[in-house]
Amino acid sequence: MRKLQLIYFNLRALCEAPRMMLHNAEIEYSYEMAWNYFKKPWSEIKKDVIFHKLPLLVIDEEIEIWQSNTISRYIAKITNNIPDNDEMAAYADSIFESAHDLFLPLNPTINVWVGEMHLKNKKDLIEKILPKAFNNFEKLLDKYEGKFFLGDRVFYCDYNVYHHISLALILDQNILDNYTNLKRFMNDFEKIKGISEYLNSRPKLIDIGTWPKVIIDGIEYTSGTNPNYKYQ
């Protein structure tokens, strides 16, 4: 197996689906903060990174893969999380991309934004954005009989949907009260091999909306691209 390094930040965001797939497949990898990998603060190294953004997947310390969805599809391939049938693969990809559409403003509302910006986007998400998406996902879970979106076998689209719904539940723990299928989906997904262990081991998010932080080895770090940043 090739050496895999995921380079990112103190964020519960674009690397969650790849990391869960790797844990499920029991494939070794490292998850490295940008400032540790590059040996410089992100503000200094950003201009030298291809397309100036992360995450980055480094394979065998040589091949660099950027674009988070490309990384997810590569990980899905090596972990056998893509349907063999071309049409079903495209169908799974449609679901994956529909979940990714929630990235903005959901992920930064949880990980980064504070104060009025956090509250405004939280309100928009709960009242407008998420209900529309959840109504569609709820219907899609009825299309094929089984626990997940394509039946009883989990595919990479399921990982991405789970991630985004799990963030929504941080905003409002009752947000799935009217979505029976999605509630069941979340419960079944957490029973997948390796998933509960991963969820229990990843850094805890605290102080969302005021000064979002992650706790790593008992130490609090600011969530985002600068672990030492302090909100005023």
Domains annotated for the chain, with CATH where assigned, are 1-232 (1.20.1050.130)
Q: Which two tokens stand for residue 51?
A: 């397309």
User: Residue 110 has what pLDDT?
Assistant: 98
User: Residue 232 has what pLDDT?
Assistant: 59
DSSP, collapsed to helix, strand or coil, labels residue 5 as strand
Segment 78-125, tens digit of pLDDT: 999 999 999 999 999 999 999 999 999 999 999 999 999 999 999 999
Q: Is the peptide bond before 105 cis (omega within 30 degrees of 0)?
A: yes
Q: Which two tokens stand for residue 133?
A: 């998406």
For tokens 């799935």, the residue is 176
Q: Dihedral through CA 145, CA 180, CA 172, CA 96, nearest 10? A: 20
Residue 231 CB neighbours (<10 A) = 11
Q: Residue 217 CA to chain centroid, in angstroms?
A: 21
Please, what's the b/e burial string for 206-219 (b: 16 or more CB within 10 A of its CB; e: otherwise)? eebbebbbbeeeee
Segment 131-177, tens digit of pLDDT: 999 999 999 999 999 999 999 999 999 999 999 999 999 999 999 99
- The chain-wide mean pLDDT, for the chain, equals 97
Largest CA distance in the chain: 52
Pair 223, 212: CB distance under 8 Å: yes
Question: Going by C-beta distance under 8 Å and a sequence separation of 6 or more, which residues neighbour residue 185?
Answer: 141, 147, 148, 149, 158, 161, 162
Segment 41-58, tens digit of pLDDT: 999 999 999 999 999 999
Residue 231, pLDDT > 80, answer: no
Which has the closest alpha carbon to 213: 11, 5, 42, 30? 11
User: Residue 1 has what pLDDT?
Assistant: 79
Planar angle of CA 137, 141, 145, nearest 5 degrees:
170
Could you write out the DSSP letters of every residue in 158-182? HHHHHHHHHHHHHH-TTTTTT-HHH
Q: What is the pTM of this model?
A: 0.97
List the helix and strand counts (H, then E) for the chain: 11, 7
CA dist list (Å): 61 to 89, 147, 223: 29, 38, 26
Residue 108 CB neighbours (<10 A) = 18
